[in-house]
């Protein structure tokens, strides 16, 4: 007897399983995500996704390719995660995402922060070498998500963008109101190689640092880095689409800006694969802490 399925629910389920399998099977396991031991064995599979068993005596836990991934324990369909990624790339509001995908506003919030956290780990280069270009931008302080606001005065938050020979850019807030060399030293300068040649754009503090650093070095011929040169205005244009980003979330949002700003062409599928490759899981408790401080 033929069973009918006019809404193609079975097909939808099957497609979802296939997507999930494809997404997760790209992940490479390097060690047990629970104890870090590299001594583990294959241990069957669940819904066609490989499982493993840790052979460390003190651990012995089983885990799979989905353990500690960005969407671990999510009961929503993998199609929805990908759709959410596209809406996020389009910079849609959380409310819009929630309505469109029929998820709760809370879920949309969790997902956005999980993704932003993944971006943070992915995009920021850990070192700057060869010709290093540095520029500065500034945004007004924003108290969104903050309790106990004691002042209405909004100071400038200074943001530095720097690029060496890597195909990514380091963008990070460094100080508030006044120039802070120590913070610059720690967050940017410590990552610049000694034999690098620094080109600074448009800021006298940065110019002075570049001059001192390049002392005695022959000027290396290189192209002007327009991304860094026009960083300030481009950042402001990008940020203007959001209705204010809380300063406490600024660093995370800047990681998103980097993806947008790179010359590389990337889409929601590339990003979904990329984020699932690593252990990008963020516990709901951690996100709840962010939320409770809102
Ligand atoms: Zn283990």
Query: How many angstroms is it from 1 CA to the middle of ligand 1?
Result: 49
The more confidently predicted of residues 144 and 31 is: 31
User: In 41-187, which ranges are continuous DSSP H helix?
Assistant: 78-89, 94-101, 105-123, 181-187
Query: How many angstroms is it from 60 CA to the middle of ligand 1?
Result: 6
Query: How many angstroms is it from 53 CA to the middle of ligand 1?
Result: 8
Query: How many angstroms is it from 68 CA to the middle of ligand 1?
Result: 13
Alpha carbon distances (Å) from 50 to 44, 63, 77, 137, 173: 6, 9, 19, 46, 41
Query: How many angstroms is it from 276 CA to the middle of ligand 1?
Result: 20
Q: Which two tokens stand for residue 137?
A: 């931008």
Query: How many angstroms is it from 151 CA to the middle of ligand 1?
Result: 49
State the pLDDT confidence band at 293, using cuts at 50, 70 and 90.
very low
Query: How many angstroms is it from 224 CA to the middle of ligand 1?
Result: 49
Q: Which residues surround ligand 1, an ion (CB under 5 A)?
A: 32, 34-35, 37, 54, 56, 59
CB burial of residue 3 (10 Å; 0-12, 13-18, 19+): exposed
Strand order in the sheet with 170-176: 170-176, 156-163, 131-140, 197-200
User: What is d(CA 260, CA 89) in angstroms, rounded to the nearest whole number?
Assistant: 8
Among 134, 139, 80, 128, which residue's Cα sits nearest to residue 107?
80
State the pLDDT at residue 265: 85
pLDDT in tens, 59-109: 999 998 888 888 877 888 889 999 999 999 999 999 999 999 999 999 999
Query: How many angstroms is it from 175 CA to the middle of ligand 1?
Result: 41
Query: How many angstroms is it from 43 CA to the middle of ligand 1?
Result: 13
Whether 288 shows a pLDDT value over 70: the answer reads: no
pLDDT in tens, 44-56: 998 888 899 999 9
Query: How many angstroms is it from 145 CA to the middle of ligand 1?
Result: 37
pLDDT in tens, 15-24: 988 998 888 8
State the pLDDT at residue 122: 78
Enumerate the β-bridge partners of residue 53: 41, 62
Among 200, 197, 245, which residue's Cα sits nearest to residue 219?
197
Query: How many angstroms is it from 31 CA to the middle of ligand 1?
Result: 8
Query: How many angstroms is it from 54 CA to the middle of ligand 1?
Result: 5
Query: How many angstroms is it from 63 CA to the middle of ligand 1?
Result: 9
Percent of the chain with pLDDT over 70: 94
pLDDT in tens, 131-190: 899 999 999 888 777 777 777 788 899 999 999 887 789 999 999 888 899 999 999 999
Query: How many angstroms is it from 70 CA to the middle of ligand 1?
Result: 19
Query: How many angstroms is it from 48 CA to the middle of ligand 1?
Result: 22
Task: Give the H/E segment covering residue 252.
Answer: helix 250-261
Phi, psi of 203 (to 5 degrees): -135, 130
DSSP, residue by residue, 118-140: HHHHHH--S-B-SEEEEEEEEEE
CA distance between the termini of the chain: 56
User: What is d(CA 113, CA 21) in angstroms, rounded to the nearest whole number?
Assistant: 24
Query: How many angstroms is it from 61 CA to the middle of ligand 1?
Result: 6
User: Is the Cβ–Cβ distance between 146 and 192 less than 8 Å?
Assistant: no
**What is the rounded average pLDDT of the residues 31-39?**
90
Tokens 């402001």 locate to: 236
Q: Which two tokens stand for residue 275?
A: 């984020």
The contacts of residue 206 (CB under 8 Å, 6+ apart) are: 134, 135, 136, 160, 200
Average pLDDT of the chain, as a whole number: 87
Query: How many angstroms is it from 287 CA to the middle of ligand 1?
Result: 25
The more confidently predicted of residues 200 and 264 is: 200
């Amino acid at each position: 007897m033929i069973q009918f399925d006019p809404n193609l629910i079975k097909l939808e389920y099957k497609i979802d399983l296939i997507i999930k399998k494809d997404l997760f099977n790209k992940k490479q396991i390097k060690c047990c995500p629970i104890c870090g031991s590299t001594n583990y064995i294959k241990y069957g599979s669940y819904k066609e996704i490989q499982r493993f068993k840790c052979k460390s005596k003190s651990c012995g836990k089983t885990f799979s390719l989905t353990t500690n991934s960005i969407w671990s324990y999510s009961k929503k369909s993998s199609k929805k995660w990908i759709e959410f990624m596209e809406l996020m790339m389009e910079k849609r509001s959380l409310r819009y995402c929630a309505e469109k995908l029929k998820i709760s506003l809370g879920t949309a919030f969790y997902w956005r922060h999980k993704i932003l956290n993944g971006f943070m780990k992915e995009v920021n280069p850990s070192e700057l070498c060869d010709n290093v270009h540095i520029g500065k931008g500034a945004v007004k302080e924003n108290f969104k998500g903050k309790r106990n606001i004691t002042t209405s005065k909004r100071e400038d938050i200074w943001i530095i963008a720097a690029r060496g020979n890597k195909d990514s850019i380091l963008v990070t807030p460094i100080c508030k109101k006044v120039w802070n060399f120590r913070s610059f030293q720690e967050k940017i300068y410590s990552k610049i190689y000694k034999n690098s040649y620094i080109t600074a754009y448009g800021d006298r503090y940065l110019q002075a640092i570049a001059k001192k650093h390049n002392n005695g070095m022959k000027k290396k011929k290189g192209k002007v880095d327009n991304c860094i040169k026009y960083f300030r205005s481009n950042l402001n244009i990008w940020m203007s689409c959001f209705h204010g980003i809380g300063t406490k979330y600024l660093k995370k949002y800047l990681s998103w800006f980097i993806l947008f700003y790179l010359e590389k062409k990337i889409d929601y599928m590339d990003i979904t694969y990329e984020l699932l490759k690593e252990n990008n899981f963020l516990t709901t408790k951690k996100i709840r802490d962010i939320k409770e401080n809102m």
